[in-house]
Amino acid sequence: MDKIAVISDIHGNIPALQAVLDDIQAREIKRIFCLGDLVGKGPDSSTSIDIVKQRCEMVIKGNWDDFITAPNESQTIQWHQKQLTLAHKEYLKSLPFSVEFMISGRLIRMFHASPRSLYDRVQPWHPIEKRMSLFENTKLTENIAGEREPDVILYGDVHNAYIQNLAGRSLCNVGSVGNPLEITQASYVILEGKYGQKDTGSFSIQFVRVPYDIDYALKLAKDVEMPEYEEYVLELTTAKYRGNK
């Protein structure tokens, strides 16, 4: 059986990212996919990009990865933009919108927010029609199986890990590594099955929560006088939302 670790929404929080990577290594998982939002909110966007480039086999673009490369009037966004080199910004621009693959006969599709946009947010409590729309094929998705819609969706964006089985298909949010908003521990998912296999076989999705040194993460942000620090403290210590995801 093959194992794939799927991470998302790191947001420049290196202590959380390192804790997750250590946990993945301890489980001897070699393949890591990332669902975007490497940057912003936390203090170390550039380091986050460098680590993800080195450790992740597949990386897709998140909404922060998108708008941080464009002119922005927000002083907070401008501060985060200044943490990146031109090479970092070009890397973010190059990231794909979605990726697809087969595992144990299931078509897996991964994107950051929805198959329509990086900015189309879908929560687990939204109407069933909106949640089911995440399985739709669009011009932005890869559609490697032609008109066939995916059996499993994995996405990030909402920082809220969950799984729902809907009409024989599975909708999964992997949660956030660096800015979780339901439990104050880093979140990621492990897929297990036969990678690339078209015939139906055994398959599982496992959610993992990893504690990390939140005080140290906050110290790193305070030391560089990161803007919106108090909001960051609240989110990391209480998992309550107070800013842009």
CB 160 within 8 Å of CB 179: no
HSE on the CB side for 192, CA within 13 Å? 10
Which of 151, 228, 232, 233 minimizes the C-alpha distance to 197?
151
Fold of 2-237: Purple Acid Phosphatase; chain A, domain 2 (3.60.21)
**Residue-wise pLDDT tens digits, 39-65:** 999 999 999 999 999 999 999 999 999
E-strand spans in the chain? 2-7, 31-34, 58-59, 98-103, 106-111, 152-155, 162-166, 169-173, 186-193, 204-210
Q: Are 83 and 59 in contact (CB under 8 A)?
A: no
Which residue do the tokens 């943490």 mark? 83
Residue 136 has a pLDDT of 97
pLDDT for 145 beyond 90: no
Give the Å distances, CA to CA, from 40 to 47, 78, 223. 11, 10, 16
Per-residue pLDDT tens digits for 190-239: 999 999 999 999 999 999 999 999 999 999 999 999 999 999 999 999 99
Alpha-carbon span 121 to 179, nearest angstrom? 16
Which is more confidently placed, 200 or 244?
200
**Per-residue tokens: 212:** 């990390």
Average pLDDT, the chain: 97
**234 closest CA partner among 175, 179, 160:** 179
Domain boundaries, the chain: 2-237
Cα–Cα nearest to 161, from 32, 33, 9, 38: 9
- Beta-strand (E) ranges in 17-147? 31-34, 58-59, 98-103, 106-111
Q: How far apart are CA 217 and CA 243, in angstroms?
A: 18
Distance of CA 173 to the CA centre of its chain: 9
**Contact (CB, 8 A) for 170 and 163:** yes
